[in-house]
Amino acid sequence: MKLTGILAGLILLPAAGLWISPKIYSQQTATSSPSPTTAASQPSPKVTPRGADTWAAFDKLSRQGMRVVMLGHDYQLLVPSEMRFRPVDGRKLIEAVAARGGLHVVWIHEGRTAVIQRGATDPEVKRIVEGLKSVDVERRRESAQIGGSLKDVRVVEALTASCLDKDAETVKLAVESLNQLGMDAVAAIQGEKALALLEKLAADEDIYVRKNAVFALGQVGGQKALALLEKLAGDENRGVRMDAVIALGHVGGEKAFLLLEKLAGDKDSGVRAFAAGALGHVGGEKAFLLLEKLAGDKDSGVRAFAAGALGDVGGQKALALLEKLAGDEDAGVCASAVYALGEVGGEKALALLEKLAGDENKEVRGCAAYALGVVGGEKALALLEKLAEDTDAGVRRSVAYALGVVGDEKALALLEKLAGDENKEVRGCVAYALGQVDSKKAFALLEKLAGDADEPVRQKAAEALRIVGDEKAFALLEKLAEDLSVNVRYAVALALREVGGEKALASLEKLAADVDANVRVDAANYLGHMDGETVLAILERLLDSPYEDVRERAAERIQTRNLDRRFSLVMRTAVGMLGSTDQSLQGQMAEHIRRLEDGDFKVREKAQQAIKENFAAAEPLLQKTLKSSEIGTETKIRLKELMDEKMLVLRAIKFVRDNKLLEDAGYLKELLKSTQGEDKARVERRLKEIEAKPATAPAAAGKNSLPTTKASE
């Protein structure tokens, strides 16, 4: 990966994973998070995506005042082929990228920020937000634990507030959920509302917690954030100081520049290097003068970062300095300078690259090849054609990647020639590059390489099909899913998620039963991002996998898809316990449940332990029940979970007791609609018992009934 790309990931973007798609959906009154605005609230900037890389395009948009943030870090976002290598509307690009990944876009901050997310239903959001505000500490903990799995902007504010909860466990779980969403994304969404939390986390003993908080402060900006960053820039831990430098680059402005000027003279070379990168983001004449000084630093890492930053600053002065750095004795500095020339572009940069393309050092020639692809144009292509004949395979690989970035007919002709290269790594790079070229001829070449005798070529072909991402890619992926190579099948699983559709599900189902555990885990993960009853059936089968990590991933994906399903499973398990055929065990359970309401902590603790022990005794019966043809999918999932985590029995019982849902005839009638077999019979019996009671009669507290609810602790 080129150094300027690394800098973009570290400094120029709002962090690895902040944005999403074209569907603006209902935002009822569940939270008071930033109100969604119409996409047309602000004029939309233009951008020209170079290939499938969304990061580079989103960075250019951020420099024009349009921020893109993503909730969650597990989405693969790619620029649609029809929007590559041509000027496009920034807003349309964001929405198209999200749509391609099956995600949604919510516009906030008067249309200046696009939040890309998977999103959740209104009832799911409402349940979590209300749960976080509940007086019941167990319900707050439960909501804090699973809130991050919703990937919905509407839970962000409530989770942020829960980080200041008086219950330490709730705070811990809420912070974990926010980290799951991305603390930098949370900061970008909440703005100054996140400052209290970030200030608290920035003082945490855990270095990783501090680092996440420091980086997120850069998304907030403003004087308060700057004051905190100034303090943190002097932290004893160099990692914290370096993250503070990155954050200052995001904030920008005169005060941030003055702090960066000071940090550019830090005794730690890592801090100086990051200061150089941050200055490239700040830009301007003052930043250039500092970069000029850092370009002469004794440490090669600092010089390399300075070179990359000069590519961001641009201009004639930057070009002159980059020409000098391209001759640096250190290979890393030289490579960074050459890549930066491609970012600057223009006739002078092209002339310098032409000279470097003939350098005796093969690494320099390879860097020049890639930079020429970024520059583009007739002259650059002519130079790439010459480099395609280079004796070094590494140079030819760089040429292939560069041609994929250019992506026109002349570039395709050169790729066709390189597709017959004797070196398998070169052919693999050609396969990947073809995925970025939108034409029938390019796809035909890719199809040929997908049948190459060498594994690395087929693997790169599968990765390229992920970029292609449409129906025509499916037939090839289906074939590659049967490949003998684990690495190829691994790449196919990811590509199938991008393609989507019923056909992709069928192939992923096969991969979910793959002989390789890693392939199965990935298949379960990707299936969890897709919709339809078929998906649930496949994930259910994975619950029986002999591999623990596969079972865990399948259960996680099932439960995070739909909170209504999750809460229903808890309820139905409790209903099943209520109608247990083992009356003796049921009586013991009821007695222990009543003791959970005792005022003496020791009594409650003993009752809790007794419930766990009773559950262990009932485990063989549950194993037998799982094999019954009458048991429903939801109940099976819950019972599986209970056998792995016995404490969930207690949580299920407490959930029922505290909410009194088993005393609610209306709820039980609704529950009848989603139950079957013996589960349904149990609910019907309970419903008859309730309807037979006098309207004003209190709930019975007999030996075999659930206890009445006391005030929550």
pLDDT in tens, 36-88: 655 555 689 999 887 778 878 998 898 888 999 999 866 668 788 788 778 99
Bridge partners of 69? 115
Given the structure tokens 């890549």, which residue do they identify? 339
- Nearest-angstrom CA–CA distance, 193 and 506: 45
| Contacts (Cβ under 8 Å, ≥6 apart) of 372 | 342, 350, 353, 357, 380, 383, 384, 387, 402
pTM of this prediction?
0.70
Q: Is 121 helix (H, G, I), strand (E, B) or coil?
A: coil
What parts of the chain have a pLDDT lower than 50? 1-32, 562-583, 586, 616, 618, 621-622, 638, 641-661, 696-713
> What residues have CB less than 8 Å from 496, skipping those under 6 apart?
477, 481, 504, 507, 508, 511, 526
pLDDT at 582: 47
Dihedrals phi, psi of 386, to nearest 5 degrees: -70, -45
Q: Please state the separation of Cα 185 from the chain's center in Å.
A: 11
pLDDT of the residue at 465: 92
pLDDT value at position 552? 73
**Is 197:165 a contact under the CB 8 Å cutoff?**
no
The rounded distance, in Å, linking the Cα atoms of 434 and 367 is 20
pLDDT, position 49? 87
Output the pLDDT for position 591: 58
- Cβ pair 49, 57 in contact under 8 A: yes
pLDDT given for residue 567 in this prediction: 39
Please report, for residues 117, 499, 507, 524, 705, the alpha-carbon distance to residue 493 in angstroms, rounded to integers and kept in the order given: 22, 10, 8, 10, 49
Q: Are 428 and 401 in contact (CB under 8 A)?
A: no
Structure confidence at residue 24 (pLDDT)? 26
Tell me how far apart the alpha carbons of residues 403 and 421 are, in angstroms, rounded to a whole number.
Answer: 15
What angle in degrees, to the nearest 10, is found between the helix axes of 533-542 and 501-511? 0
Q: Name residue 85's amino acid.
A: F
